[in-house]
Structure 1
Amino acid sequence: MTTRVIAVGGADAAAARLAACLGGTVCPLAQRRFPDGEHYLRVLGAVEGADVVLVAHLHPVDPLLVDIVFLADALRELGARQVGLVVPYLAYMRQDRRFQPGEAVTSVSFARLLSRSVDWLATVDPHLHRHAALSAIYSVPALAVPSAPAIARWIRAEVPDAVVVGPDEESGQWVDEVARLAGCPGITGRKLRHGDRSVEITWPALQPWRGRPAVLVDDIVSSGQTLVTALQGLGAQGLQAAACVVVHGLFEQDAAQRLQAAGASRLVVCNTLPQPGLPLIDVLGDLAEAAARLIAPRQG
């Protein structure tokens, strides 16, 4: 079967990498906006009978969501055998319950919308906090590729005597697995959030690790305030911040600069989002393997 990979909204490099890994080809896409802001999309290659994979960096997400929904519908009309979606970063996972009366639980709504549009989905380390798994909200096959093996390989090569540190309980699932795979101790703090840019972190006893390099690991960094606070607290207790490793670096405004100013001697990100100028940990190869597993059952 033919596999065609389409980059949506500027994900050209990721699409080319996935096409090479999948033994497929990139299918060109023309996209632009009409003067009133409406979306224009045109598939510029043959897709009839093909397994089509859409690739998108969902940040910022809202314009891309419209493109994905329209494209998936058009591809089926053009005869595609299946339409899958590869999103290294999966957006709209933050709102996983109704915290205040009347709030939209957008993680569920987003999952319903995508499940109606594509046949399967593959992503890297979605922010599964109150949802046990992607299958709890997605009705199509969905695979979450772990970043821990790739991050652990980087730590073993770059900071082999590290202490792996998570800033809060939510990061504990990554910290424990990364520390285990890297053969390093791991610790996590407890976070109390007072606002988008105001957090407080308390730490367990850190005396046994004083003098050892700390590698802070977190799944998503937006404003960067949590990691800034963590860096300040670790430094006050005698741990040297050797690096901050981030799975999904959104880095709003000056977040990356603030992290470096707070003491992060190295800032490293997984390549789930474009980050020019920052060292990258590759997870796209593992993501391509997940996509291949999702394509295969529909080729039989």
Structure 2
Amino acid sequence: MILPGSASQSLGAALADELDEPLAVVETQRFADGEFKVRVPDAGGERAVVVAATVSAEAHLELLQLQDLARAHFEEVVTVLPYMGYARQDRAFRDGEPVSARAVARAVSTGTDRVLAVNPHEPSIAEFFDVPFEVVDAAARLAEPLPDLADPLFLAPDEGAIGIAETVCDAYGAGSCDHFEKTRDYDTGDVTVEPAGADPDGREVVLVDDIVATGSTMSAAIARLHERGVADVYVTCLHPMFADNARAKLADAGVAGVWGTDTIERPVSDVSVAPTLAERL
């Protein structure tokens, strides 16, 4: 049975279809003091697959409740983290700070037999889990919605994301890859971004990243590419957080199309990672 968190309704339904397993309708009761409780009246069976993107503190608590429910009514519990909140806090950046990713991983580990996470920002967080942990790479699916492009340039916002761009390029079957480099003018303090090696002039460009949060980095990259005289610029990302006015920033910068996956369910989540997850379940 698929047990979806409230932030993963569409993905839960898609995964149930892929696996031909029943989809639980999770009920939520809220109390006057702000607490809440989940319930699945028909829970029970051999395996529960809890699918919950932890996009907020409440989503984290909901995940723990779903796991506890599953432990009581199913023989096996598998937890799918389409998007794992706090994964970017994988170390203490200053003295006196916790390693939040470790704290979250320990909590999640107590209620499951294994964990699958879709493209966590830092795969090294696997060491924080006390149960088998598997990274599911769904980047190739980002090639699906792209239009017919002659010789596209797939650009990552930095060198750390070049692997995702290469995966999308390979899945698309055409084009080349590069990443942006930042250059700082120490006299003025201004920072410019340019492709590290490829010449984007006149080409169609696909910007690829794992997460788009505020949209500031992407919108600056789009604006700079248009200054260079590129053709259309498209944006694809695995985890479309799109906080606040991020989508408007991209539109204002002149993006021709934006696509994300359903690891975080937003209006741009046109690509489902369900088929990739189903292969590992």
SS at match of 1:246: strand
Query: What is the aligned-residue RMSD (CA, Å)?
Result: 2.4
User: Is 1:99 the counterpart of 2:89 in the alignment?
Assistant: no
Q: Matched residues in 1 for 2:112 and 2:81: separation?
A: 12
8 Å CA contact retained: 1:231, 1:241 = no
Query: Given the alignment, which residue of 166, 169, 176 partners 2:159?
Result: 169
Q: How does 1:106-125 map to 2 (within 5 A)?
A: 106-125=100-119
8 Å CA contact retained: 1:267, 1:279 = no
Residue number in structure 1 paired with 2:187: none
Residue number in structure 2 paired with 1:43: 40
SS at match of 2:58: helix
Q: How does 1:245-284 map to 2 (within 5 A)?
A: 245-276=236-267, 278=268, 280-284=270-274
8 Å CA contact retained: 1:272, 1:284 = no
* Greater CA drift, 86-95 or 256-265: 86-95
8 Å CA contact retained: 2:212, 2:240 = yes
User: Is 1:286 the counterpart of 2:276 in the alignment?
Assistant: yes
Q: Matched residues in 2 for 1:245 and 1:201: separation?
A: 22
8 Å CA contact retained: 2:178, 2:196 = no
Structure 1, unmatched stretches of 5+, are 194-198, 293-300
Structure 1 position 224, deviation (Å): 0.6
Residue number in structure 2 paired with 1:298: none
Distance 1:184 1:96, change over 3 A: same
SS at match of 1:285: helix
TM-score of the superposed pair, with normalisation by structure 1: 0.84
Residue number in structure 2 paired with 1:188: 179
Residue number in structure 1 paired with 2:8: 11
Query: Given the alignment, which residue of 146, 149, 153 partners 1:159?
Result: 149
Residue number in structure 1 paired with 2:67: 72
> For 1:163-187, what per-residue CA distance to the aligned partner results, in whole angstroms no more than 9, with x for missing partners?
0011112212212222334332111
TM-score of the superposed pair, with normalisation by structure 2: 0.89
User: Is 1:149 the counterpart of 2:140 in the alignment?
Assistant: yes
User: Is 1:33 the counterpart of 2:30 in the alignment?
Assistant: yes
Residue number in structure 1 paired with 2:54: 58
Distance 1:34 1:223, change over 3 A: same
> For 1:175-203, what per-residue CA distance to the aligned partner results, in whole angstroms no more than 9, with x for missing partners?
2222334332111013489xxxxx94532
Structure 1 position 154, deviation (Å): 3.9
Q: Matched residues in 2 for 1:20 and 1:122: separation?
A: 18
SS at match of 2:199: helix
Distance 1:152 1:8, change over 3 A: closer
Distance 1:205 1:248, change over 3 A: closer
Residue number in structure 2 paired with 1:196: none
Q: Matched residues in 2 for 1:274 and 1:29: separation?
A: 17
User: Aligned AA for 1:247?
Assistant: L
8 Å CA contact retained: 1:167, 1:191 = no
> For 1:68-87, what per-residue CA distance to the aligned partner results, in whole angstroms no more than 9, with x for missing partners?
21232233233x10111122
8 Å CA contact retained: 2:200, 2:225 = no
8 Å CA contact retained: 1:148, 1:174 = yes
Q: Matched residues in 1 for 2:271 and 2:150: separation?
A: 16
**Aligned residue pair count:** 276
Query: Given the alignment, which residue of 119, 127, 135 partners 2:121?
Result: 127
Q: Matched residues in 2 for 1:222 and 1:11: separation?
A: 18
Structure 2, unmatched stretches of 5+, are 185-189
Structure 1 position 159, deviation (Å): 2.4
8 Å CA contact retained: 1:168, 1:201 = no
Distance 1:262 1:160, change over 3 A: same
8 Å CA contact retained: 2:102, 2:128 = yes
User: Is 1:219 the counterpart of 2:210 in the alignment?
Assistant: yes
* Greater CA drift, 167-176 or 214-223: 167-176
